[in-house]
Structure formats: C-alpha cells, structure tokens
A and B are shown apart, each in its own frame.
Chain A
Amino acid sequence: MKTFSEAARMEASALMERYPTRMAALIPIMFIAQREFGHIDEEAEKVIAELMDISPVSVREVSGFYFMIHKHPPGKYHLQICHNISCTIMAAEKLLTWVKDELGIEDGQRTGDALFSLERVECLGACDLAPVMLVNETLYTNLTLEKFTRIIDALKNGKIPED
C-alpha cells in the first residue's frame, strides 16, 4: 500500500488549512502525491481520498480531467513536445521524428529502460522560441537536431543541460 512520507503529509495538512474549503487543496495535493509516487493510479487516488477525507471518486473525477496528472508512470525524463500552430510551422513534427529515431518512442510511450517518455502537448506559451520542448520542468527552445541531440545525450549521462 502506498503511503505519504511524513513531510508530504505535513505539507498536505497545511494546504488543507490554507483555503476556505478542504477540497481546494486537492490539485496541489495531487502534485505532492505525484512527486511521491510518480503517477496517480487507483491506489494513489485512494490514499489521497483517505488523507483528505473525501470520496475516491472525487479524486478520480479531477485526476482524470487534468493532463499534467500522470495516469501511467512517466520516464525519468518526461519529454513534452508542443505541436500547436507556432511550433508546427517551425517544424515540431520533425522534432517528433527525431525523438522516434533517437529513442524509438512515440506519443504516450516510454523507453524500455524507463529513462524517457514522450507526450505531445498543446501550446506551452513559448511560441516566439518555437519549436519547444519541456523536459520535466525545464523548457528547451529554438530546437534544432543538433541541439536536441545534445540535450538527449546530456540527459542520458544524468546531466540536466541548460537551454
């Protein structure tokens, strides 16, 4: 059975005190759970529900709605590639083929070693720097094949390069 760490539990308790309703802390607590467990599956939903004293279905309804809540375990490095208008016209589809060539994965897939996963995403709000990619919480901009390869190589070596 999954359990929250003591630090996470305290953080969650503080959040529930912070808003006029306990329910308002659900999304922030979901992010804490995601940090703890990697993704939100049925068991994690129950743990959150128990902690917040709400029904598991209330958690399910919300977790299912938001795209940043992972329903399956992502890779250590979760690549999110924008395929909206500005990135499309600046060759985002090429970027997606580079991922396939380099890592052998497509949208929604994870590499066998669990190091990388790929998700096509909508506009990341960096259209002037297209094409762009988020790796976990780091944004990479103006991507070329050379720059993309350099980033992936660094990540394979455990280094998070600067943009």
Chain B
Amino acid sequence: MPELKLLSRNFHHPDQRDLQAALNRGAYQQLKRVLAEKTAPEAIIEEVKAAKLRGQGGAGFPAGMKWSFVPKGTDKPKYLCVNGDESEPGTFKDKVILENDPHLLIEGAALCCYAVGIHTAYIYIRGEYHEPQRIVRQAVADAYEAGFLGKNIFDSGFDLDVIVHTGAGAYICGEETALLNSLEGLKGWPRIRPPFPAVKGAFACPTVINNVETLSCVVRILEMGGEAYRKVGTEKDGGTKLFAVSGHVEKPGTYELPMGSSLKELIFDICGGVKGGKKLKAVIPGGSSTPVLKADEVDVTLEFEAMMAAGTMLGSGAAIVLDETVSIPEIFTVTARFYAHESCGQCTQCREGCTWLYKLGLKILGGHGKPADLDLILDLADQMDGKQTVCPLGPACAMPCRAFVQKFRDEFLSLMKS
C-alpha cells in the first residue's frame, strides 16, 4: 500500500505552524463546527470509537474507550495530559507533528476536552525537544490570541486552558502515571494501578492521557466521520499511522501509511531498501522495546494484533533497520544499557535485571562470555517479564533482549569461541 497523507497532509508546508496559514488550510474548523452545532459530547466519543482509533504511543489502547472511563458526574476538575514525552529509541513521529502542524494537535486536544468535559489541558513535551517546545508554545499563544483557547471559545460558553509543560530528561516519564508524577513536580516514578488515571490521575482528579499522534487523529476523524476513517485502515485498527524509519535504509524518515500496510513494503519500496545495496539483517519494528524480526520475518502486516501474532509489537511504529554489518550482541548491549540507565529503580526485577543484562552484554562483547550466560539472559528476561512490576519498563528491556539471544544465538556464541 502506498503512502496516504491524512494526518500529515499539511506537513510539507513550511508556514503550517503559523495560525493564519493553518486556518487557510482548514485548521480549527472541526472545533468551530462542534461548538456551533453544540454536538453532544457523547457523539464525539462514539465517532472516535467507531473510527477504531488506538493509542499511537505504543500501547494501542482504544482511545474512545479510554475517554469513556472518565466519570461523568464528578464535581472534581478533569484534566487532559497530552503525552509528548516521545523517548522510545527509534521514535520521532510526534516531533514531526509538533514541529510541522502544532495547531492540528491543539485542535485535537480541544476536541477531546470538549468530548470529555475538560477545561484544562497540559501538553507535556520531553525536555530535549527544544525546538518543538518553542513551536508549540508559540502556537498555543497564537491560538489564545485568536480566541480559539481560553474563555468562551467561539462564543460557545466552552472554556479551555492549555499549558505547555516540559520534562527534564527521563524516558520513564512517557509512561502515563510517571508522566503524572512528573507533571506534579515529583520524580517520575510510575504509580500502582488501580486507581487508573481516568478516575484518579493528575492532581488526584480524573485525567485522560493521550499521545500527540492519537489526539491529532481526532481532527481527521471528525472531518471524515468515524466509519470512513476506520475503513482506511483495518477492522480493528482504524485509519493511518505515522511510521518513523531509521538505520540502514536509503530514505529514512517519517511516512504515513494505512494501518494494515506491509512492513516489507515500507522498508523496500517506500524507504528505498537497504542502504548501499547491502543485505538486510534484521528490523526492530516498533521502537527499541519491541522484539527484533530477522530478515526473513519482515513480511508482516503493520497492525497491533498481526504484529503480536508475529511475536513482536507494533509499538510506536518506529522501525530501526539493521544491515548485515551490524553486530547483534552490540545492539543487545546498547539496548540493555539504555533501560539500565532509564529504570526508575522502584521495582527490583527491573532495577537489577536491566543492569545485569547490560553487564552480561559487556562481558560477551569483551570476549569473556560463556554459553551459560545466554541461558542466564533468558532466565533473567523471564523474571523481568513476569507482570509483577509497577510499569512495563522491565518487560520493555526483557522482550528485545530475549529476542536478540533467541534469534541470533550463534552470533553471541561466535564471540565466545574466539
């Protein structure tokens, strides 16, 4: 399937971040329409459900369902947290939205707030994204100035405040409950659930947390209608998705494809194949926490369940392409080092396990490994992946590390023989 630019249709306009230019291309029309027509909030949630929009940050949880978990009759304030803490290695698709069409995100966030009855939204952007922060702050200021945010938007009586908040360098803050703690000025330790954020989230109030891309999709869903949007994708995964491709391909970058497209086509047709005519060795298909696919396994469909059936995950849609020159034990070690660096230290399996895997990687790379170390890695990975941790960071380290060893065992062993 070729590229299909729904979400990204205006990304190539250099002036799209300017409010007037964005307005000329239809920005804020859906917000204006919904507020003018006084569309029932539930009707918007139903459209998003019908669209089969799933969380684009990696977990794939149905967005409409997430919104409907927020209690209706509460007298507490409700909040939206826009998750722009994009830090999963290989992933840079939210940055492309933040930089190229910030008003699309702001409108999508506003539509979510209207649908759920929220009057304060926080856009949490990772600390290292300096340029996206500047662009989004300016876009928010422009939207306030034009009356698209603030009090009584479009004379509808609907109020919405949007606050841009930045992280300070911690991968774990992309995990939604760690993000809440970080927003509250605490260290980014994930919270034990229940209670879920929809009931008790930011500042102990009901909270929706959605990824930047997920919220941006809402604008297109309302433009097209939920059912028409879904039909672009598959039965269970509606619409399109942004795929970020890096590593050894001729044309790395961000590409928007319908859900259900082929990973093989993405790499060999759209991205021009492996760089310099080399052979493909493997693909890490959905960010660093997703299990690697060998060259003969990449003929898979880009949708959440099909990827799980293939023993991996769609994740954030960030594919890292590795050519024949890459050392898998080195990638194993880099991966384990990353998670060891980013573990919040709260749970034993994750805190100790990630560091242990990293040390085993170093030992093997240094030529001191023994075959029993590979069994130890697999044993550790099983213990870290046992669903007994507060958040999925430990499993996110265990899953790719296990796959590297299972699928490329000989390559690890070859470092031991020499």
Contacts and interface: CB of A to CB of B under 8 A. Distances in A.
Interface of A: 18-21, 23-28, 30-31, 61-62, 64-69, 80, 83-86, 88-90, 121-130, 134, 137-139
A75 B403 CA distance: 40
A26 B165 CA distance: 11
B170 A127 contact: no
Nearest to A92: B334
- Residue from A21, A80, A85, A124 whose CB has the most chain B CB atoms within 10 Å: A85
A68 B168 CA distance: 5
Interface of B: 77, 86-92, 95, 126-131, 163, 165-171, 182-188, 203, 205, 244-248, 252-254, 284, 288, 318, 320, 322, 326, 330-331, 334-335, 338, 341-342, 344
A85 B248 contact: no
B168 A66 contact: yes
Contacts of B341: 122
Nearest to B342: A122
A18 B318 CA distance: 35
Contact of A89 (B205, B247, B335, B338): B247
A90 B334 CA distance: 13
A83 B326 CA distance: 15
Contacts of A27: 165-168, 182, 185
B318 A127 contact: yes
Given A125-B126, A130-B246, A85 B90 contact: yes
A94 to B, nearest CB: 14
Contacts of B318: 127
B90 A86 contact: yes
A18 B165 CA distance: 11
A84 B246 contact: no
Nearest to B79: A20
Contacts of B326: 89
Contacts of A126: 92, 95
A84 B338 contact: yes
B203 A128 contact: no
A125 to B, nearest CB: 4
A69 B134 CA distance: 19
Contacts of B330: 88
